[in-house]
Chains A and B, each alone.
Chain A
Amino acid sequence: AQKITQTQPGMFVQEKEAVTLDCTYDTSDPSYGLFWYKQPSSGEMIFLIYQGSYDQQNATEGRYSLNFQKARKSANLVISASQLGDSAMYFCAMREGRENQGGKLIFGQGTELSVKP
């Protein structure tokens, strides 16, 4: 079963507008972490933001915020004031608490974001 689902293969947003990238997850582990990564066309994976399962508040990092709805098992990424440089592939990922599995990340299939001038 898919543990991380990103239902939007591609998204368009106008420059300076906000955009929400969807991510739902599935786990029975009470302790887990949720991460978002950005992959520009050059290929490197850039860590953007983290949300812990026990965190009471939504994570924020500059223009990035995470809309964490635990009961719905969703962890959507919100990018405010989009810039042309935000055009990239975005991946949602989950790390479960069982470190005997090496702390591996489970990735979604990604959402390709295109920012229009």
Chain B
Amino acid sequence: SQTIHQWPATLVQPVGSPLSLECTVEGTSNPNLYWYRQAAGRGLQLLFYSVGIGQISSEVPQNLSASRPQDRQFILSSKKLLLSDSGFYLCAWSRTGVHQPQHFGDGTRLSIL
């Protein structure tokens, strides 16, 4: 069966510090991968998605970036965090096909001080 791992679960960072959140998927190959951000009490905002190694599409201009160095690894990064980067970050994977759901990791709660 497929599993998705996302870490860390919680992170507190000072403004201006770098960020690296990692997500890995097991049990499948060539998944579509996604990074979302969720502000408190709000819906999910798609940040990036990837359909293959090295292929990244950005949905929202911001000071975040994403990379996919391996087939089942997706990394969310920032060189300098802003206060507005606080939120709940979720990684997800899916197979290709309109009937395929996305499966989510447990999320990372990021607080910027």
A contacts, CB < 8 Å to B: 31-33, 35, 37, 43-47, 50, 52-53, 91, 95-97, 99, 102-105, 107-110
Does residue B53 face the partner (Cβ distance < 8 Å to A)?
no
21 residue pairs from A and B, CB less than 8 Å apart: A31-B98, A33-B98, A35-B101, A35-B102, A43-B88, A43-B90, A43-B109, A44-B106, A45-B44, A45-B92, A45-B104, A50-B101, A95-B98, A97-B98, A102-B32, A102-B34, A102-B50, A102-B51, A104-B34, A104-B46, A104-B59
- Report A-chain residues with C-beta under 8 Å of the C-beta of B43: 91, 107-110
Contact B32 A45 (CB under 8 A): no
Does residue B57 face the partner (Cβ distance < 8 Å to A)?
yes
Q: Nearest Cβ in chain A — how far from B5, in angstroms? A: 13
Also in contact, A105 and B106, with CB within 8 A (given A43-B88, A91-B43): no
CA distance A108 to B49 in the complex (A): 18
- Report B-chain residues with C-beta under 8 Å of the C-beta of A105: 34, 46, 102
Does residue B96 face the partner (Cβ distance < 8 Å to A)?
yes
- Among B90, B96, B101, the residue within 8 A (CB) of A47 is B101
**Residue with the highest number of chain A CB atoms closer than 10 Å, among B50, B57, B102, B105:** B102
- Report A-chain residues with C-beta under 8 Å of the C-beta of B92: 45
CA distance A115 to B85 in the complex (A): 33
- Report B-chain residues with C-beta under 8 Å of the C-beta of A91: 43-44
Q: Nearest Cβ in chain B — how far from A102, in angstroms? A: 4
Also in contact, A103 and B57, with CB within 8 A (given A43-B88, A44-B104, A45-B104): no
Contact B106 A103 (CB under 8 A): no
- Considering the complex, give the chain B residue whose CB is closest to the CB of A48: B101
Contact B100 A47 (CB under 8 A): no
- Report B-chain residues with C-beta under 8 Å of the C-beta of A103: 32, 51, 94, 96-98, 100
